[in-house]
Structure 1
Amino acid sequence: MSPDLPLVVPSVTAELVGALPPRLRKRLDAGVAKLAARPAVRDGDTVRVAVDDETDVVLHAPGGTVTSADAIRCGCLLAPDCLHRAAAASAAPIADDTPDGATDADQAQPATDSTDTTTAPDVATAGDSNSDTGTTAGDSNSDTGTTAGGANSDTGTDTATPEQRTAAHAVHAAAAAVLDAGTDGAGAVLQAELLRAAHAARLAGLPRASAAAVSVVTRVHAARAAAAGHRLAELAGALAGVLGVAHRVPRATGPDLAELRGTVRQPYRPDGSLRLYGLFSEPVLTATGYAGAVTWTADADGRLYTVSDVAPGGPARATGAADRAVRIGDTALTHRQLSRAGLAVSGATVSPTGRLGTGAAVRAVRASGAAWRAEPLDRLWAVPVGDQVARALDGGQDLLFLEVTLTGTLRETAGDCLLADCAGVPVRLATAHDDPALPYRDNLRLLAAARGSRLRIVARLVPGPFPRALLLAAEHPVDPAARVDLGLDWLQHADLPTGTVPAPLVAAAGEEAPLHLLRRRVHQAVAGGRRVLAFSRSGPGDGTRLRRAGLATAADLLDGLHGAAADRSRDAFGRLLPADTDRFARAWLAAALYTDAAERALCADAWGATAAAAPSPGSGRGPGLVPRR
């Protein structure tokens, strides 16, 4: 993915790649790599890439987005049926395929992930945007007595239409092909097939499946480009999400189907007047080419709201967005200032995930803020830790408001993290992002020298067998009335208590439950494809170890995953037949869903929380921003 190129909607890439003859498809990946390495020159709405001394590819992107195949032109002799146009579309970042007619104020922010970025999850859910209608693709039509998805009002049932079932099967088949090849083998052709299926799903009234498929392609882009923000676990989660949704749509009915269909636009509801208090700001820097900042606020009842500024960009935009004015009303507050001050909003509109709308009717002025240890923000830290974790695991917002004592530094394979005591629970506090342009890692190293300090912090839960969270903001080590946004503010040695010494470094203990044996194979399949598992079976050792730990289901799923990967039939002449990608995808999805559910159960036990029904990929239940009351 080249950040110098404009956004290209999925249907354009799918059309251009689909028009290539087989001989050019084989050369497409090489063409993408070559074009991505060439400089791009932007002139207004036009971006020009010099393929060689005599040939240019020109992308016309009004508003920053290429919306038709005719907007990509090439000067070579084979144009318009050349390789260069398809390579340019494949190398460009993927745009949100939002329907025409959406206003600027209603455009959705890009989806962000709790581990991929330093952002709040669900700044906007993938494929969602603000909407005045608030209807889903499956909502009923009062005039005809049928739903948009083809429900029959006479029988009272709502089932997927034939077009939706066909589109869901196409998405599942394309995603299964990507999984079968792995990121190493999922080149531009396979990515384009998944984008084609995503576009068909959107046209069939399945915006959620469409958005999930596009999310997979953007992460495959990042993986193949070795982007700094790429996380294999997030790509695995995205694949599990799209496979889960596509698998369930043809069989779902009623409210479950409406949830699986999703909404084309995210409804914003009027919320009257709000008095908000700034909590903290965090930078956004995703592996999919978006950057900016998100500021978290709370009202007097402890409900959380966010103000975001996210757009295509890199580290410079992530660090600079904090000093840009928030886009609500006429306020001149920057995100950094809002995180310490307050906001009075009239005519407010709020999404289901707590994001404040920025419509023309919204008015906002600066107001006084509140300290973390003063009302009303103090009540966020008064909620028992177990209840906060249970809320997050049950699909609520995953921010944790903790009071901890720093006790040392823990060495893990992924890097060092802080070890802190939280009401008797040893918590591992890791950096939210490793990009050197952001101060997270440097701040964590300095805080490690403040051993014994008792601080209030804000962190994001990381489900796992040990209590673990990503550190986002903290009280100042020597001034409890001040606070530090660890992704934006740079701590200095002078900010530490006098007489501090480096915290002791200890090695991480091994996992009590060897669930990592299954999780490792799930991730290996995503990276290397089916063939990696077909030739890497380690015999009965892993399965035996899982069964000894009481994880018999995990052992059976591991055996089934290896069996599906190695299963290749032969024809009457002894020649290998094509692999059953559908069977392998089902076995992999079962292993991924089990691993996710088991990790959440272990997480609840580690934090002393009441285990709740964990949301799984494709279930439609994800982290929200407004705590349930």
Structure 2
Amino acid sequence: MNADQLPPAAPEVTATLVETLSPRLRKRLDAAVTKLGARPAHRDGDTVTIQVDDESELRLHAPGGVVARVEDITCGCLLAPACVHRAAAACAAPTADQATEPAEQPAPKTPEPTGATEPDAAAPQETASDAQRTAADALWAAGAAVLEAGVDGAGAVTQSALLRAAHTARLRRLPRAAAAALSVVTLLRAARTGDPSYRTADLVTALAELLGTARRVGTASGAELAAVCGRARRPYSPDGSLRLYGLFTEPVVTDSGHGGVRTWVAGGDGRLFTVGDVAPGGAGRALGVADRAVRLGDSALTHRELGRAGLAVSGATVSPDGRLGAGKGVKAVTARGAAWTEPPLAALWEAPPAEQAARALRAVSRYAEPDGGGSDLLFLDVELLGAVREPGGACLLARCAGGVPVRLTVADDDPALPHRDNLALLAAAPGTRLRIIGRLVPAPHPRLTLLACSHPTGEGTVDLGLDRLRRADLPDPKARVHLAPAQPAGSGAASPLYLLERRVEQTVPAGRAALGLLGDVTAEARRIRRGGLPTAADLLIALCAAAGRRERDLFGRLLPADTDGFAAHWLAAARYTAAVSEALCSAAWNPADAAPTGDAPTGGAPADDGPAPVSPPARAHAV
């Protein structure tokens, strides 16, 4: 049995079952979760049955797809209902976030105004209520406990405390902080089960978001408080009539088991919108959905066709992140599209790359405010230079306006999608000039994941995640992969910031105690100061000092560690490193800072059996 076979369990269900266990059973809970994962399970409608042993069965009843009540988990063993099996099943099941709107939900019909207002539509509060402050304090304490214990020590009991705090925060209208807590729980489970998609950097970001949001609840007011609280559901607001022009379609395949497509369109004023179809499934569903009709009005266009055609929409509804609603009041008919070189689409490529990168960086910032709007796409005219070797493989190097060298990587490494093959073929066409669309990758050097490009022959466009290029499409069909000249690593490559970053990341898997054993970090701090980052040096010293500080009472006994103080120092270091990394990324796109192209090759000749491999990106974790 694996977690995918179990229905999602509401956070309060898991928290309640764990809290009712005796102290003795809580100590056995992690082992029970592991043991339960090795037992066979089968689904029958809304019920999943797990064979605990030869005589006992455990049942999870999930009407509507979610285990919403404690009574929906039953066990047939002699100790039930006070047994450890029910809590273990809830801890093994994915966490349900029932208050969050699905990724591609049609916009509801706008209700008539009434005397009462919905909570999300109410006027912003001036300051947080006492109940909200209490809920935020509980979230802070639960997050600090995770940081204290590290991944290895943050078992089911620690996770249940986070789930309880998340449920309370949701009831107190703090959905942003509650969502961050659920993300931390999901990543902790992925780390403890050895999920290959888990990355420590993701858990660092989730923990910093949780702690930072919980801390700001008590100090924010007015509009800032509304942003800190967040929204439980994505609002769709009326946007009248829109004339839309298709740009491209990209497949969406996530580690959460969802698959589908997202089609990007632009309005006459240059605003970007998306029309998506994402549901449980993998790469196969993504490829199949691309040829299904778009769920928007009466249009008969498929997603592939919409990426090259146009739409006239009346009664449009749009979410803050640009998703088009598909409610009953929305009407859409097929219209003429526009080439990338024709207005109004051509204007997207006229903005300087540095300006586009700054805008995209605000959208992909690790701690961006929700509903901040903006797009992470860049529209560039480039000249291909060839493949460059990197530690993870190779990527395609191109030169954009101002002579800035840009590394282009695959958007998804799934072998069922043509991303990698297409990028490898483009590496065999140095000197080709293309108009491209890519997604910014925050890095100390200009870097994009390549999503779409103009056809190498100059006719039409290519959706690189759905369409397959052939050698006959290249200017020289017999061309081999070309290795571009060596490139400097970027303005931020020599920055000693990594000395602080690795200590921030080291805390997450090992906990505070491991950082406290480092001892003197004066040499590292001195090196950081020489690199022009005195604040980073001070943060490193303060972080390590807080990790190793343990007071004693009058009898010489160690007092409990100051988890709150250590969490505050860790949060400051995490947010600082993120801000500096984003500043280095923004500076790398400035033509004045772009380093000239070198002359030395990066390695030997490519192999005869095919193109050089292209380094994969990290796949998205949520729809």
Deviations 1:308-340 (A, max 9, x none): 223344444444443443332343433333223
Equivalences for residues 58-73 of structure 1 within 5 A: 58-73=59-74
- 1:109 is aligned to 102
Deviation (angstroms), 1:365? 3.1
- 1:161 is aligned to 129
Does residue 1:205 correspond to 2:173, yes or no?
yes
- 1:556 is aligned to 538
CA distance in 2 between partners of 1:403 and 1:374 (Å): 14
Deviation (angstroms), 1:356? 1.0
Deviation (angstroms), 1:131? 9.0
Q: 1:582 to 1:369 in 2, by over 3 A?
A: same
- 1:459 is aligned to 438
8 A contact 1:131–1:266 mirrored in 2: no
1:393 to 361, 374, 379: 361
- 2:43 is aligned to 42
SS in 1 for 2:170: helix
Deviation (angstroms), 1:232? 2.5
Q: 1:425 to 1:83 in 2, by over 3 A?
A: same
Deviation (angstroms), 1:550? 0.6
Q: 1:603 to 1:545 in 2, by over 3 A?
A: same
The normalised TM-score by structure 1 is: 0.84
Deviation (angstroms), 1:269? 0.8
CA distance in 1 between partners of 2:3 and 2:31 (Å): 14
| RMSD, aligned CA | 2.8
SS in 2 for 1:369: coil
Does residue 1:186 correspond to 2:154, yes or no?
yes
Deviations 1:369-410 (A, max 9, x none): 332222322211111112111222344321111111121323
Equivalences for residues 163-178 of structure 1 within 5 A: 163-178=131-146
- 1:218 is aligned to 186
The residue type equivalent to 1:247 in the other structure is R
Q: 1:414 to 1:594 in 2, by over 3 A?
A: farther
- 1:530 is aligned to 512
SS in 2 for 1:326: coil
SS in 1 for 2:435: strand
8 A contact 1:8–1:89 mirrored in 2: yes
Q: Which moved more, 1:345-354 or 1:163-172?
A: 345-354
8 A contact 2:257–2:282 mirrored in 1: yes
Deviations 1:95-140 (A, max 9, x none): 2232xxxxxxxx7235xxxxxxxxxxxx89xxx9979589785765
Q: Which moved more, 1:313-322 or 1:340-349?
A: 313-322
- Using the aligned pairs only, state the percent identity: 59
SS in 1 for 2:4: coil
Deviations 1:58-94 (A, max 9, x none): 2222222221121222222222222222222222222
8 A contact 1:411–1:507 mirrored in 2: no
CA distance in 2 between partners of 1:191 and 1:553 (Å): 33
1:333 to 298, 301, 319: 301
8 A contact 2:424–2:481 mirrored in 1: no
Q: 1:201 to 1:576 in 2, by over 3 A?
A: same
SS in 2 for 1:246: helix
2:319 to 351, 357, 366: 351
CA distance in 2 between partners of 1:421 and 1:38 (Å): 55
SS in 2 for 1:452: coil
CA distance in 2 between partners of 1:382 and 1:39 (Å): 58
- 2:386 is aligned to 408
Does residue 1:19 correspond to 2:12, yes or no?
no
Does residue 1:469 correspond to 2:448, yes or no?
yes
Q: 1:494 to 1:523 in 2, by over 3 A?
A: farther
Q: 1:220 to 1:487 in 2, by over 3 A?
A: farther
SS in 1 for 2:453: strand
Q: Which moved more, 1:504-513 or 1:189-198?
A: 504-513
CA distance in 2 between partners of 1:188 and 1:443 (Å): 44
8 A contact 2:135–2:168 mirrored in 1: yes
Deviations 1:407-434 (A, max 9, x none): 1323333442222111110112223333
CA distance in 2 between partners of 1:167 and 1:131 (Å): 33
The residue type equivalent to 1:48 in the other structure is T
The residue type equivalent to 2:3 in the other structure is S
The normalised TM-score by structure 2 is: 0.85
1:449 to 428, 436, 445: 428
The residue type equivalent to 1:9 in the other structure is A
Q: Which moved more, 1:77-86 or 1:489-498?
A: 489-498
Deviation (angstroms), 1:51? 3.0
Deviations 1:432-460 (A, max 9, x none): 33344443333333322222222121111
Q: 1:565 to 1:286 in 2, by over 3 A?
A: farther
- 1:229 is aligned to 197
2:164 to 163, 174, 196: 196
The residue type equivalent to 2:427 in the other structure is A
Does residue 1:307 correspond to 2:307, yes or no?
no
Count of equivalent residues: 573
Does residue 1:259 correspond to 2:252, yes or no?
no
Q: 1:335 to 1:551 in 2, by over 3 A?
A: same
Does residue 1:485 correspond to 2:463, yes or no?
yes
The residue type equivalent to 2:102 in the other structure is Q
Does residue 1:239 correspond to 2:218, yes or no?
no
The residue type equivalent to 1:473 in the other structure is A
The residue type equivalent to 1:193 in the other structure is A
CA distance in 1 between partners of 2:327 and 2:25 (Å): 47
CA distance in 2 between partners of 1:317 and 1:588 (Å): 41
2:576 to 590, 594, 609: 594
Equivalences for residues 608-623 of structure 1 within 5 A: 608=590
Unaligned runs of 5+ in 2: 364-373, 594-623
